[in-house]
Amino acid sequence: MEWEVIERSPATIRLLRIPKPSAGFYDFDEYEQLVAAAKEMDRNAYLIVLLGGEAGLRCGEIMALEWSDVDLGKRQLCVQRSDWKGHITDTKGGRLRYVPLTIRLAAALREYRHLRGTRVLCQRDGAPLTQKIVQDHVRRSAHRAQLARSGVHRLRHTFCSPLAMKGAPARAIQELAGHQDLATTQRYMHLSPAAVEGAIRLLDGPVPSFGRGNMVATGSTEIANSSR
């Protein structure tokens, strides 16, 4: 039908709803083990782990990050492009986003700044990293840290999950991670006991000083005054 070969489709296919799988991530201790192992290995591995785990960048965004996107004065990154098999494209969400730098990531970027090219991560000759090289750095770092599972996207989940666990609002996580749909962010919110606890504690608080009861009382007073 899209190619205008036929006028209508004789069949209708209804897709079954399936639950989305939970996002795997490194816990706090595992992530610190991975950071330490990556730092021992080489600077590219260290920056890849930090950019994924502490800034939430996707693999292509890590590869395409340029020094002009890094503002060490303001301590923030501007994520505005992605590298897909050597082709520069927009980010997955189609818009740029600003991500504040953690102290550790800012220090690493300052220490490892180079003049071999415009990319933050590159090979010794200045050539950009490939997806295979980035994935290999993460895999070898995880192996060195004696962690069973690895992957660049697991680092991204590791960025989102602790934010949710520490009570960050879903909207803030969505902006930082560049999720196009809030439903994607909601996958992490079951990890936020602090937010759930805070919501219930609202019921334990004092009754607000304004409300329907006050409106009725005020209204009756005004009626009484007007009848005098």
> Counting beta carbons within 10 angstroms of the beta carbon of residue 3, is it exposed (0 to 12), middle (13 to 18) or buried (19 or more)?
exposed
pLDDT in tens, 106-131: 999 999 999 888 999 999 999 999 99
The SS3 assignment for 91 reads: coil
Instruction: Spot the catalytic one: 97, 119, 154, 156.
Output: 156
Q: Which domain holds residue 114?
A: 28-191
Is residue 5 included in any domain, yes or no? no
Q: How confident is the model at residue 209 (pLDDT cuts 50, 70, 90)?
A: low
Catalytic residue among 39, 81, 92, 140: 92
Residue 80 lies in a domain: yes
Is this model's pTM higher than 0.85 or not?
Answer: no
Region of poorest pLDDT, from 153-162, 176-185, 215-224: 215-224
- CATH code (residue 157): 1.10.443.10
* Inside any domain, residue 175: yes
> Between residues 80 and 95, which one has the greater pLDDT?
80
Confidence of residue 54 (pLDDT cuts 50, 70, 90): very high
Asked if the structure places residue 21 within a domain, the reply is no
Question: 196 in a domain, yes or no?
Answer: no
Q: Which pLDDT score is estimated for 20? A: 64
Is 198 part of a structural domain of the chain?
A: no
Q: Which of 26, 31, 46, 188 is catalytic?
A: 188
Q: Is 82 helix (H, G, I), strand (E, B) or coil?
A: strand
* Within a domain: 90: yes
Each residue's pLDDT tens digit, 166-199: 888 889 999 999 888 888 888 777 766 666 676 6
Catalytic annotation present for 188: yes
* Residue 204 belongs to a domain: no
Domain count, the chain: 1
What DSSP line would sit under 141-192, residue for residue? HHHHTT-S---HHHHHHHHHHHHHHTT--HHHHHHHHT-SSHHHHHTTGGG-
* Residue 156 falls in the annotated catalytic set: yes
Give the three-class secondary structure for 169.
Answer: coil
Please tell me the distance from the alpha carbon of residue 71 to that of residue 98, in angstroms, as a whole number.
10
Averaged pLDDT for residues 151-162: 90
Options 46, 58, 137, 154, the catalytic residue: 58
